[in-house]
Amino acid sequence: MPITILDQRWILETDQSAYVLGLNTAGKLAHIWWGARLPRAVDYPRPVDPGEWSSFDTAAHRTPLEYPGWGGTDYTEPCLKVTFADGVRDTVLDYAGSQLVNGELPELILTLRDRDYPLRVDLHYRLHETTNLIERWVVVTHEGSQPVTLERVFSAQWHLPADGTYTLRHTVGRWNDEMRLVREPLMPGCKVLESRRLTSSHHANPWFSVDRGSTDENQGEVWFGALVWSGNWKLAAEVTEFGATRLSMGVNDWDFAWTLHAGETFTTPACLAGYTHYGYGAASRLCHDYIRSEVLPHGKTLHPVLYNAWEAVQFAVDEPSQMRLADLAAEMGVELFVVDDGWFKGRENDRAGLGDWTPDLRKFPRGLGPLIQKVHDCGMRFGLWVEPEMVNANSDLFRAHPDWVIQFPTRARTEARNQMILNLARTDVQNHLIDTLDRLLSENAIDFIKWDMNRNVSEPGWQTVDGDPREFWVRYVQGLYRVWGTLRNRHAQIFWQGCSGGGGRADLGILHLADQLWTSDNTDAKARLRIQEGFSQLFPANVMEAWVTDAGAGNTSLSFRFHVSMCGSLGVGGALDCWSAAEREEARSWIELYKSIRPVVQQGYQYRLLSLQQGPFAALNYVSKDGSQGVLFAFHLDEPGPAVFPRLRLRGLDPQAVYRVEGVEDTRSGAAWMEDGLDLGLGCLESTVRRIERVD
């Protein structure tokens, strides 16, 4: 049984981990255990009652409450902050019952109620047993009559074992430089990571990984998690004065408020978290598996090799030039031809057109039909770029609805890339987008949409709102999910790519809608390797769209650039009409190879072998789930210098089985490849891709 109830404790077990909570002697719902699964339910401890340290540090402050509300003498980070109608701003949450839900997955609901006010808080726990993940979310219900205001409602607080000192890993970045992996000790105090930008952002990602001891890629304890949300978020990693470590995560409470009227509920986004004692690599593989099997709309579908001319031509798209490129792309074996920005009315540059989603008749006098037909005749699928949430002042949409943009009317509005954001919190704006995009998709045989978003919010005003304008942050994201979700349902055959100027909205929320993500606008292969390492911490290779472009062509060979992109979902974005026939032929052969290894790369297990954090080398291998096939990629990034490429030990093979590694004469056992490894002897700026095959 994955959920056991024993002596007022709830024991939640996945294949390898356990999470236990229970009622302490004061009757409070307290956290007890998160870590390895023990052989018997009775082995798990009982709640600890830490007692009072002083009048400044009461038992309430020291108790690891499972979901603390702000109130009393607990000064640790709360999950819930409420102002009641009479002005009281203190919550006292008592345990009020539990319920096991018989759904597809095991689920537990624990109910808390405020002692004096009609507020109910349901804590939901859903178990993903094979991926060792626990999914938590919270539903707050107002059971009284006078409105209450929620000012913070986190999805979860995760307590780490009390006896540890921990290291936090997370990513930071900026546009063109996303997903830099950072590792730092958690010290007493509170480390906050967040976004206030309306998207999950390039700058930090709603993902965490915490470890203790000598954890590395292959061994050691890791606690990890991510928020299923595409808007403002917050992670508060707190180490108390008494050495307790807790991570609270949820919608950011910055400028947030939500009014609950009688009978209304507020449901938080889910927060997923897991535990493994097999290192960072295992934590990533659990996330990859979960994303492919339970999040992605087309998780098992292999992603096509695409061509996108954005970097090659920018806004200069028109029917004849795109048709020429389509011929060249098809000859190389490309399967999906995508027309990026610049195709719609008035879009000569980034100062006009956003909002008017009809073809520019100067560029496409016959509409998109003939180009789509041509692409289909070439045996490729057709994709199109849109940026639905945005509008330029120079557009028919803005001229008709200037009040639809986010702004404070008394303030000058800030434009970024000459564009403004439509207020998707408004139902009329949502309906307009659904109708407009539905028409575009119904009138044209489109197979793929790239959904972009190229700025962050400013002056978050909402003029026509009936309630609290600070609901905007959540209602916008809910509106986005509604628009995109409706279109997804109506056009189920379409494959979607999420993008926000590269990786500005890479999160588990958007992956319920988008099949893949545009990883970064930085397509220089050397820079990409670092970005891809950060991206792979949470996201599987099929989600990571990676183009071979002309960026970095001066110092990296075409093969090096292909090898880097072949580690993810391969695309091409170079100026094909400037490539020589020999280059296009070489590209054709890499695409052919990629198609043969694609099932292993996109659906297999990924093992990071060498990290750019340790030296100028990167290497990783993928292994199919049945252990019969693998692929090895290795890169030496150094400029000419003394670094010698290290001996590589492969991972994830069956130790008893015998494997051949392409380019090596002898076959060897999986154990030999993993324990002894192989010498690739890669020189500066050399790379290799090798197939691995089980031969016994």
Q: Which residues contact 62 (CB under 8 A, 6 or more apart)?
A: 50, 51, 52, 53, 240, 242, 244
Q: Which of 225, 269, 388, 501 binds ligand DGJ (CB under 6 A)?
A: 501
Binding residue count for ligand DGJ, defined by CB under 6 A = 11
Q: Which residue has tokens 């902050």?
A: 81
Residue 571: in which H helix or E strand, if any? strand 569-572
- Using CB under 6 A as the binding rule, whether residue 383 contacts ligand DGJ is answered as no
- Using CB under 6 A as the binding rule, whether residue 452 contacts ligand DGJ is answered as yes
Residue 399: in which H helix or E strand, if any? helix 396-400
- Determine phi and psi for 650, rounding to 5 degrees: -75, 170
Q: Are 476 and 425 in contact (CB under 8 A)?
A: yes
Cα gap 406→423, rounded to integer Å: 5
Q: Which of 499, 508, 511, 600 binds ligand DGJ (CB under 6 A)?
A: 499
Write the interaction track for ligand DGJ spanning residues 457-496; mark x where CB under 6 A is met and - where it is not.
----------------------------------------
Token pair recorded at residue 71 = 């109130």
Half-sphere exposure (CA, 13 Å, Cβ side) for 45? 13
* Position closest to ligand DGJ via CB: 341
Cα gap 330→279, rounded to integer Å: 42
- Using CB under 6 A as the binding rule, whether residue 341 contacts ligand DGJ is answered as yes
Q: Which of 567, 561, 535 is nearest to 631 (CA)?
A: 567
Q: Which of 552, 13, 622, 572 is nearest to 288 (CA)?
A: 622
- Determine phi and psi for 555, rounding to 5 degrees: -125, 0
Taking CB under 6 A as the binding criterion, the range among 359-367, 371-379, 498-506, 601-609 that sits at the site for ligand DGJ is 498-506
Residue 452 is a catalytic residue = yes
Question: Smallest gap, in angstroms, from Cβ of residue 335 to ligand DGJ?
Answer: 19
Taking CB under 6 A as the binding criterion, the range among 101-109, 191-199, 322-330, 497-505 that sits at the site for ligand DGJ is 497-505
Candidates 114, 340, 447, 521; catalytic one: 521
Write the interaction track for ligand DGJ spanning residues 521-540; mark x where CB under 6 A is met and - where it is not.
x-------------------
Candidates 340, 341, 452, 507; catalytic one: 452
Residue 521 is a catalytic residue = yes
Cα gap 13→4, rounded to integer Å: 8
Question: Smallest gap, in angstroms, from Cβ of residue 450 to ligand DGJ?
Answer: 6
Cα gap 610→617, rounded to integer Å: 6
Of 340 and 471, which CB lies nearer to ligand DGJ in the complex structure?
340
- Using CB under 6 A as the binding rule, whether residue 454 contacts ligand DGJ is answered as yes
Residues between 298 and 317 that touch ligand DGJ (CB under 6 A): 310
Of 518 and 535, which CB lies nearer to ligand DGJ in the complex structure?
518
Of 114 and 341, which CB lies nearer to ligand DGJ in the complex structure?
341
Q: Are 206 and 227 in contact (CB under 8 A)?
A: yes
- Using CB under 6 A as the binding rule, whether residue 355 contacts ligand DGJ is answered as no
Question: Smallest gap, in angstroms, from Cβ of residue 514 to ligand DGJ?
Answer: 13
Question: Smallest gap, in angstroms, from Cβ of residue 23 to ligand DGJ?
Answer: 50
Q: Are 34 and 19 in contact (CB under 8 A)?
A: yes
Q: Which residues contact 177 (CB under 8 A, 6 or more apart)?
A: 202, 520, 522, 527, 531
Question: Smallest gap, in angstroms, from Cβ of residue 158 to ligand DGJ?
Answer: 33
Question: Smallest gap, in angstroms, from Cβ of residue 31 to ligand DGJ?
Answer: 41
Per-residue HEC secondary structure of 661-686 comes to: ECCCCCCEEHHHHHHCCECCCCCCCC
- Active site (catalytic) residues: 452, 521
Binding site for ligand DGJ (CB under 6 A): 310, 340-341, 385, 452, 454, 499, 501-502, 518, 521
